[in-house]
Structure 1
Amino acid sequence: MGGSVPLDRSTTWPYEDGEPAAFSYARFSSPTVAAAEQALGELDGGEALLFASGAAASTAVVLALLSPGQTVALAEGAYYGTGVLLDELERWGVRHVEFDQTRPPPPDADLVWIEAPSNPFLMMPDFETAAAHPAPVVCDSTAATPLHVKPLERGCQIALHSATKGLAGHDDALVGALVTNDPETAARLREFRSRTGPVAAPDVAWLLLRGLQTLEVRVARQTESASTIAERLRAHPAVELVRHPGFGPLLSFDVADAQAARQVETSTRLIANKTSLGGVTSRIEARSRWEGDRVPAGLLRLSVGLEPPDELWDDLAQALSHAGPLE
C-alpha cells in the first residue's frame, strides 16, 4: 500500500460501450472505497466490504443472512451496542440469546456471534468450538485488529470491525467493515449493501487507508504501553481487578464502586474522559453509565494511545488517588 490513493468523490461514472464499467454508481462501489477494501482484505485474508459504521455492518450481517424466526447466539459480555442492536432487530422477527463464548454455542443457533476479545471484559472465545457449530460464525475483532486476531484463519466465516476504532485510528472516520473468504457470503453482503445503501463514503475510506498505513507501528506502541500500565494497575491499592489480553490498546479495571469510578474518570488531565477505543489519544470512561448492571459498578475502560507511558501512568496514578483504597 505504497503512496497515497486519490480521493474520488464522484457518484457516477460513464458507461463503456453502452455498458456499466467497474464503477457506475457510488452506492454500488467507488474507486477509493474499493482501494480501502482491498487493503483491509489483504490484512484479514478475505474480501472486505466497507459500511457507514460498525453498527451498519452488524445490521447487514443479520438482515442479509437471516430470516424471521431465526436466532443469533451472541457471546455473553460482548459489546453492549451489539445486544441493543439485536434487541431492535427483534421487530423483524430475528431473536437472540446469549452464551458463554468459551463453551459450545446453543445447538439451535442460526448465526454464532463471538468477540475476540470481548469489550469491555476482554475475554477470548474458543474458536475451535465455535467453528465446529454448523451455523456461520461472525467474529467481532475490533479491539484486536487483524494484527493480533485473524478470525477467518480460525474457522469463522465473517470478521467484523468497527473500523472507526483501531483500523482508522484517529477519531475522524466513522466506518465499519465485514471481511469474508466465502464467495457466496461476500456476494450476498454486497448485494444487500447495494440494495439498502449503507456503503461507506469515499472520504472515510480514504481516512481508513491513511490509518492502515500506520496500523502496525501504532498497535505495537499501544500494546507495549497498555501492558506496562496494566502491570502497574495490578499493584495499585485502589484497583480490585485488571483485564488485558496481552495485546492491543484496550484494558479495563475495577475500582471500589461507581462513585470511585466517577472520581477517577473526572480527575485525569492527559487522558481524555470520553468513549471509544483504538485512537492515537488515550481515553477513559466508567462503562456503567452505558451498560448498567451488566458490568461492575466500578469498571473503568481505558484505551491507551500513543502518549509516553510514564506520562499516562502519572496521570492515572494521580486520578486513582481520588478513589481511595479498597476496603
Structure 2
Amino acid sequence: MLDPVAVRGGLGVDVHADRPYRPTGQPEGTHVTHHADPCESWSLSTRAVAVGRPHQPGEPLNVALTPATSFIAGAGPGYSRVGNPTWEPFEDVVGSLEGGRATAFASGMAAIGASFEVMFAAFGDGRPVVAAPHVHYSGSRLLLEDLRRAGRITLLTYRPEVDGPATVADADIVLIETPANPGMEITDIAAFAAGRARVICDNTYATPMSTRPLEYGADIVVHSASKYLAGHSDALIGVAVTADPEISDRLLGYRTTHGSTPGVMEAWLATRGTRTLPLRFGAASDNALRLARRLSDSSLVAEVRYPGLPTDPGHDVAARQMSSYGAMLTFRPHGGSRHAQAICEATRLWLHATSLGGVESTLERRRRHADESAAVPPDLIRLSVGCEDVEDLWQDLSDAITRTT
C-alpha cells in the first residue's frame, strides 16, 4: 500500500499534518513542511472529524471564517490568492482522507483543468495523447474536446468494462471515472495505472470513504467537492490530491498563478460538510443498495446499474477496490425516454434536479441536457440517493413509476 508520508519524504512534508497557517515568508506557489500528526493511526471516520481542527488553547473548535484579501505583513499568506486560513483545514482533512496532499480550487472543473495542465507541462510543446472513458462527466468531456480542437492533445476513448489496459497503451495521460458519471461503469484503477501513462482519477462518486485511488496507482485524484464532500448542495468548490511532491507544488503554483481559488465561505461550508461525510455517505450508500435491489426486481424496470448488485458488469472489480458501493445508481424504465421524463416529473419526495451528493435525494434524465453525450441512453434516469428513510424513498419512486406506466 502506498505510504503518502514516505512518498513526500523528499520535501519533508507530512501530508497528515494540521496546518492552520503557512509560515512567515513562504514563497508563492510552494508547499511547506509541517509537524507530524498522530492521525496516521486513525480511521477515516475519525480523520473526517478530527483532522484540521485548531489545537491551541483558547482557539475555537471550528475554523474561523476569514473573509480577508490581505494580511498584516510578517506572518500568514500575505494575500488571499496565495492562501487563506479558511481553506487550509479543508485541504488538510481531504488530503488525509485520500492519502495525499490536497489543493482546493474554485470548482471541480477548475481542479480537473489544473490537473491536466500540470500534466501537460511535462510534454513541453508536444501533443500528449489523452485517453478518456467513452462516457464520462459532460464537463470533463467538453474540456477535452476543446483541447483537442485547439490542437493541444490527441484524444482517444476507451470502454472501461470492455477494453483492457492495452487499449490505452499509447496514452500519455489516462482519465478515470469510477463509477463513471452517469453510466456507472467501473474501471480497474490498478490495471490502468500499471502502464507508463499518468493517471487522473475523478473520485467524486466513490469518495475516499469507498475508494482511495492513490493507493491503486493514480497520480492525481480530483473531486467536485460540491457533491459528497461538502454534501449539502450549497457550496461550489473542487479539490485535487496527489502524493507526488512535484505535482503537488505545481498544482499550488497553477492555482496561485491562474487565480482559481475557492471562496472562503465555500471552503468553510465544505470543511463543515466533510466532518459528516462518513455518516452521510454510509447512510446514503445503504439506501442505494436497498433501492437498487428493489428496482432490479421490478417488472417495470428494464435495467439497473449499481456496482453493489452481483449481476452488475462492474461488480467484481468494484468488490476489489471499493469498501462500499456508493450512493449513485441508474435505471432505465420500460417505455422509453418519455416514460423516464414522466417519472422524474411525478415524484414528490425525490427532487427533479441536476447535480448530486447532497443529503436530499435527486433524480434526472441525463439526456435532457443538450451537452450530454449521445452515448448515454435517452431513457436513463440517474439517482443520487440521500439520507431520507429508504421506505419513503421507495414508496415515492415506485408510485411514480407505476402512475406513469
CA distance in 2, matches of 1:248, 1:242: 14
Amino acid at match of 1:249: A
Equivalent runs, 1:47-196 vs 2, <5 Å: 47-66=101-120, 67=123, 69-90=127-148, 91=150, 93-102=152-161, 103-104=164-165, 105-196=167-258
Equivalent runs, 1:295-314 vs 2, <5 Å: 295-314=376-395
Asked if residue 213 in structure 1 is aligned to residue 213 in structure 2, the reply is no
Moved over 3 A (4+): none
Shift of 1:213: 0.7
Worse-superposed segment, 60-69 or 187-196? 60-69
CA distance in 1, matches of 2:281, 2:235: 18
Aligned to 1:14: 72
CA distance in 1, matches of 2:240, 2:160: 20
Shift of 1:92: 5.7
Worse-superposed segment, 2-11 or 144-153? 2-11
In structure 2, the gaps of 5 or more residues are 1-49, 54-60, 309-324
Aligned to 1:225: 287
Shift of 1:22: 3.9
RMSD between aligned residues? 1.4
295, 304, 313: which is aligned to 1:242?
Answer: 304
91, 95, 98: which is aligned to 1:37?
Answer: 91
SS in 2 for 1:293: coil
Aligned to 2:400: 319
CA distance in 2, matches of 1:8, 1:303: 32
Under a length normalisation based on structure 2, what TM-score does the superposition of the two structures give?
A: 0.77
Shift of 1:48: 0.2
- Size of the aligned set, in residue pairs, is 320
Shift of 1:33: 0.6
Shift of 1:292: 4.9
Aligned to 2:332: 254
In structure 1, the gaps of 5 or more residues are none
CA distance in 2, matches of 1:73, 1:124: 16
Shift of 1:174: 0.4
Q: Is the 8 A contact 2:102 2:240 kept in 1?
A: yes
The percent of aligned pairs where both chains have the same amino acid is 39
Q: Is the 8 A contact 1:285 1:301 kept in 2?
A: yes
* CA offset digits 1:58-101 (Å, max 9, x no partner): 11112222155112111222222211111122326223211123
* CA offset digits 1:15-64 (Å, max 9, x no partner): 22xxxx44111111111111110111011000001111111111111222
